[in-house]
Structure 1
Amino acid sequence: MTRSARRTGGYRPTLRIAGAGAAALLALTACSDSDSDSDSASDSDPGSGKGGESGEVSGEVTVFAAASLTESFEELGAQFEEDHPGAKVTFSFGGSDALAASITGGAPADVFASASPTTMEIVTDAGAAAGTPETFVRNQLEIATLPGNPDGIASLKDLTDSGLKVVLCDETVPCGSAAQKALDAGALTLTPVSYEEDVKSALNKVVLKEADAAVVYKTDVRAAGDTVEGVDFPESADAINDYPITLLKEAPNAAAAEAFVELVQSAEGQKVLTGAGFLKP
């Protein structure tokens, strides 16, 4: 606190001294105010994840995302942490339906990126979304076969051959729902050897040679490299999935969550996603 001199007894400063004292007093007061402002600014904790007065992004941001986004989001997460040294991104990947159920069940998360509007509705209908979800990419199905396509699979109809072991995603998850739409479009009936909980699980059945083929997304076939081979089929055009993303209402770190969503929707984020095989919205 700034100290002011008290006048005592017969002390009579000259006019010049009094003027100098007043100037010094004003200078000290200005310095004190500046120090107070600095202290006040430093009291705003940038590590709290709320951004503080400076708008700095920091703290942990938890992202629940469809399994098919794994590789792309991990790349974007690394970029986000590089852009914001005080931030850390933690991902939970899986079937969109299971992730939505976890969110509505109270699991702490900041962002939800779903592989279909239908599974996103589980979250919005429960009032768990902070705003209106926005579609940021789209995805199309492809048949994943063993390397070299030894069974000569050339169409969706070929998968109905009883001699083939085919895997589909469960119909409750977006890739399974999309596969059923494609089968309906081709008036085809297919009985798989198993239904998997998410697209990565379905793809792994082929990678591990436990199945001859699986209906998955183009992005997953591309991410698997030479461990599988992809086969396009025209019915997939009738089953393209929109991927919506939203900030969650109970987000523990809303500031960082908003920044991550912005990165996903930015030109830089879109470049990463389309490079992985996703389609622009």
Structure 2
Amino acid sequence: MGGIRAATHDTEVAHRAAWTRRCAALTLLAMAPLAAGCAASEGDADAADRSSASVSGATLEGSLHVLVAASLLPVTEAIAASFERQHPAVEVQISGAGSSALREQVLAGAPADVFIPADPSHVRTIRNGVGIDGQPVVVARNSLVLAVPVGNNAGVDSLADLSRPDLLIGLCASEVPCGAHARAGLSGMQIEPAPDTEEPNVRALATKLGAGELDAAVVYASDVIAESDRITSLGWPSGQQPEVTYEAAVLADAPNGAAAGAFIAYLQTDTARGAFADFGFATP
């Protein structure tokens, strides 16, 4: 997919949510280009964010390739749109997939500038493998929830129902963060899930749940907001909810290191934090 050419956080939340729902049905594959047409509506960016996103007054240009965990894809597209308006000579290209799949792409030498997985362990692996430039930065946090299709026709009540063989249950695969965190959280509560499907990333799982192909699944709180017309959160017991942390890092061999550094700085601005909040994420 080419660059995203419109700002987003500064527009109405309703427009942004509608856009997110349209994009949620896309199948997310590692390093695959995004489907065309998923652009947010235009708006003006905050002047303070323009200043904080600049790099010593230098003009940024060229392509910027950002790899993000599937759960971050819609909000990162929105933030990238705003970033591009501040740096019109930069074309942001975003690939979203399971964090482990993206990690392996980077380790195999795939060209990329910024890596934002859903678990800091993947950043550490990349740092020890191909290296990162500077220190990683925490840009957002998320949490897991038990979710059901709107209407909850199967009558799911609690996480314990994930063990019921009569229900169609979905989890993320154990090698991706949403699956690993879910299993760890359930294990701590002595719940043994009986999944009928184990999806390669959380967006694929949320899409199946929203389509009514599953009775229940463990997804992120942000996915419920993105699919609010199709799925409902039943929450997670207070004090036992696994927390997910997203660290952003510039890769050591980034083809466009200057734009990569500016983009990570932009992820920490008020505009970007507002977008994260609108999409259901917590910020540092």
The answer for the alignment partner of 1:23 in structure 2 is none
Pairs within 5 Å for 1:126-137: 126-137=129-140
Equivalent residue for 1:254? Answer: 257
Match of 2:281 in 1: 278
Question: Which residue, out of 165, 168, 183, partners 1:165?
Answer: 168
State the one-letter code of the partner of 2:79: L
2:207 is the alignment partner of 1:204? yes
Q: CA deviation at 1:62?
A: 0.3
Q: Is the 8 A contact 1:61 1:256 kept in 2?
A: yes
CA distance in 1, matches of 2:162, 2:197: 14
Match of 1:243 in 2: 246
CA contact (8 A) 2:172 2:178 kept: yes
Q: Any residues of structure 2 matched to 1:25-104 within 5 Å, and which?
A: 55-104=58-107
**Structure 1 62/151 Cα, relative in aligned 2: closer, same or farther at 3 Å?**
same
Q: Is 1:143–2:155 an aligned residue pair?
A: no
Give the structure with the larger helix fraction.
Answer: 1
* Structure-2 change in CA distance of 1:155 and 1:53 (3 Å): closer
- Of residues 215, 218, 222, the one that matches 1:215 is 218
Which has the higher Rg, Structure 1 or Structure 2?
1
Amino acid at match of 2:265: E
Aligned partner letter, 2:275 = V
Equivalent residue for 1:8? Answer: none
C-alpha displacement of 1:210: 1.6
1:99-138 deviations in Å (ceiling 9; x for gaps): 0110111000000001011222221121421122121111
Question: CA offset at residue 214 of structure 1?
Answer: 1.1
Distance 2:191 2:179 in 1: 15
What is the CA RMSD across the aligned residues, in angstroms?
1.8
User: Separation in 1 of the partners of 2:162 and 2:179?
Assistant: 15
Question: Counterpart amino acid of 1:201?
Answer: A
Q: Is the 8 A contact 1:140 1:236 kept in 2?
A: no
Runs of at least 4 residues off by over 6 Å: none
Quote the offset at 1:57 in angstroms. Answer: 1.2
Contact 1:182 1:235 in 2 (8 A): no
State the shift of 1:54 in Å: 5.8
Q: Which residue of 2 aligns with 1:231?
A: 234
CA distance in 2, matches of 1:78, 1:53: 21
Q: Deviations over 1:44-99 (max 9, x none)?
A: xxxxxxx9996101111000000000111010011011111111100010000110
Structure 1 residue 188, shift from structure 2 partner = 0.6
Q: Distance in 2 between matches of 1:179 and 1:215?
A: 7
Q: CA deviation at 1:236?
A: 7.4
The normalised TM-score by structure 1 is 0.78
Instruction: Give the letter for the 2:178 counterpart.
Output: C
- Asked whether the 8 Å contact 1:165–1:192 carries over to 2, the reply is yes
Q: Which amino acid aligns with 1:93?
A: G
Q: Relative to structure 1, is the Cα distance of residues 53 and 194 closer, same or farther in structure 2, using a 3 angstrom cutoff?
A: closer
CA apart distance, 1:204: 1.6
2:109 to 106, 110, 123: 106
Moved more, 80-89 or 152-161: 152-161
CA contact (8 A) 1:120 1:244 kept: yes
Distance apart, 1:225 and its partner CA: 2.2
For 1:194, the equivalent position in structure 2 comes to 197
Gaps of 5+ in 1: 1-50
Instruction: Write the distance in 2 (CA, Å) between the matches of 1:147 and 1:126.
Output: 43
